[in-house]
Amino acid sequence: MGLALCTSAAAQDRGYWRAASKNASTITGDFALGDTRLTLNFYSFPVAPIRRLSTTEVAAAFDVDLNSGANGQLYRLRIAAGQQFMHKNTLCGSDDTQWMATFVEGRNLHVAFFSGDSQPVLTMQAILDSTDLCGIFVYAR
């Protein structure tokens, strides 16, 4: 039963989401996540789930109330630095996008993209000190 709960929680971010934040509307367009593929503005990329994020990590990454009980998911991906999306925007400037953190809040999906070879450290201080956070995007159903 525990495995079913983990699978269900991780699968909440799957499916098609409409761009809802200014960042999402001007950079990525709509977002679709499957088991092994991420699609942004009609471009598709392989993606692999790495691990579940704790409430503390979600609170740090997305500035969410620590008491919310929100959990998220960390993914590994590779989007080349030169990949252009809407209005010739890129996700991480001159760096490859290598990590994606997600969490679902109601009918909204929050997504943070990161560069860097190592898994992002998701504490408030580490995020404040990091240059690997590329941006936070919000999508809706």
Neighbours of 115 (CB within 10 A): 21
The model's pTM: 0.90
Domain ranges of the chain: 2-140
pLDDT of amino acid 45:
98
Phi, psi of 14 (to 5 degrees): -75, 150
pLDDT of amino acid 4:
40
The arithmetic mean of pLDDT across residues 7-24, rounded, is 84
Report which of 100, 81, 91, 96 is spatially closest to residue 41, judged by C-alpha positions: 91
Query: Facing residues of 99 across strands?
Result: 76, 114
Q: Choose between 6 and 70: higher pLDDT.
A: 70
95 pLDDT band (50/70/90 cuts)? Answer: very high
Rounded Cα distance between 88 and 20, Å, is 19
Q: Which helix (H) or strand (E) holds 7?
A: helix 2-11
pLDDT of amino acid 126:
94
In this model, does residue 6 exceed pLDDT 80?
no
pLDDT tens for 35-81 read 999 999 889 999 999 999 999 999 999 988 877 778 899 999 999 99
Q: Token pair for residue 138?
A: 């919000």
The arithmetic mean of pLDDT across residues 5-24, rounded, is 80
Which range, of 1-5, 28-32, 50-54, 133-137, averages the lowest pLDDT? 1-5
